[in-house]
Amino acid sequence: MKRWALTYDWWSESVREEAITQAGLHFVGLGSYLLLFPATSKYCYFRNFDGSFQPGEDDVYERPLTVRTSDGLKVTLELEFVFRLQMNNLRALYMLVGSQSYQNTLVHIASGTIAEHATNFSAQAFYGDRGGVASAFQEALTTELAKRLYVSVMSLQLQPAHFPSAYAAAIVETQEMKQDIQVAEQENKTKVIRKQTELFRARQLANQIIIKAEGDAQQTLVSNQADVAQFKYRQEVLAEGYARALQFFSASGQDAVPDFLNYMKLEAFKAHDSNKKTMKLTPVA
């Protein structure tokens, strides 16, 4: 495993300023030895794992944290975050807590920071806005551990909170009610959309009926106008023909009306169906 080191001089009982960060053989001198620190990212767990879980070397494993929310509810939190020692501040870290005690100090600072900032959030936030709570916890840990322990926080993951049984049951009931409301709202939306569709189709059908009726009316009007024009034209032609016939019979200088009427009778007789003609013969005296 990659590690960083500080050189401790036994004769002067002091730690050299410069840290050893490169792999290889290093001569530290007689009466001196190395203080080792992890050079890679490590985990700090506040989790409730089963017996099969084995933390990695230099990882920190603690039980879940019990905190209080802004509305006074006691909840149990499980989380883990990834941290890394700051290479340029190894000597300052050693002078502060030694080479082995930084893990205990890390746990105390982290648990205190989480407990303090948990009071900024309601129980509902821990249930419904876990991402927002986790972001706030990571920001707070990043600030506190960098300032007080020379540790950088790389990431944080917050697990679902454990609520008291009565509150957990109330949450389940609330969620079920919300689901019922959402189902009812969706059904109502479906009904509204169906009714709107039916109304749209009815309006479309009404428009089609109106358009067809207007078209039929227009067609009837045009047809009637054509029939009237043809009838008028036919009557004008007949009137003109009758006028010419009357003029023809008037050329003899006698009363043309009796001759014209006889002509009309003859034309009517000729136009009548021959199968349906009946003739009356008047004997000559």
24: confidence class by pLDDT, cuts 50, 70, 90: low
- pLDDT exceeds cutoff 60 at 112: yes
Give the pTM: 0.60
Rounded to the nearest integer, the mean pLDDT of the chain is 84
The segment with the largest mean pLDDT, out of 143-157, 185-199, 240-254, 267-281, is 143-157
Range 3-163 has CATH code 3.20.20.70: no
273: confidence class by pLDDT, cuts 50, 70, 90: low
- pLDDT exceeds cutoff 90 at 51: no
Tens-place pLDDT, residues 77-111 = 999 999 999 999 998 998 898 777 889 999 999 99
- pLDDT exceeds cutoff 80 at 269: no
Concatenating the DSSP letter of every residue in 88-134 gives GGHHHHHHHHTTTTHHHHHHHHHHHHHHHHHTTS-HHHHHH-HHHHH
Measure the CA–CA gap between 85 and 92, rounded to whole angstroms. 11
3-state secondary structure of 50: coil
Tens-place pLDDT, residues 132-179 = 999 999 999 999 999 999 999 999 999 999 988 877 676 666 666 777
Tens-place pLDDT, residues 182-197 = 888 898 998 999 999 9
What's phi and psi for 238, nearest 5 deg? Answer: -60, -45
End-to-end CA separation in angstroms for the chain? 157
User: What is the pLDDT, as a whole number, of residue 284?
Assistant: 59
Measure the CA–CA gap between 73 and 163, rounded to whole angstroms. 8
Measure the CA–CA gap between 35 and 259, rounded to whole angstroms. 152
User: What is the pLDDT, as a whole number, of residue 158?
Assistant: 96
- pLDDT exceeds cutoff 90 at 60: yes
**Strand residue runs (E) in the chain:** 3-9, 14-15, 32-38, 42-46, 60-62, 65-68, 74-77, 79-85, 151-158
- pLDDT exceeds cutoff 60 at 285: no
- pLDDT exceeds cutoff 90 at 69: yes
- pLDDT exceeds cutoff 70 at 253: no
Region 231-240: what's the mean pLDDT? 84
Q: What are the extents of the domains in the chain? A: 3-163, 170-268
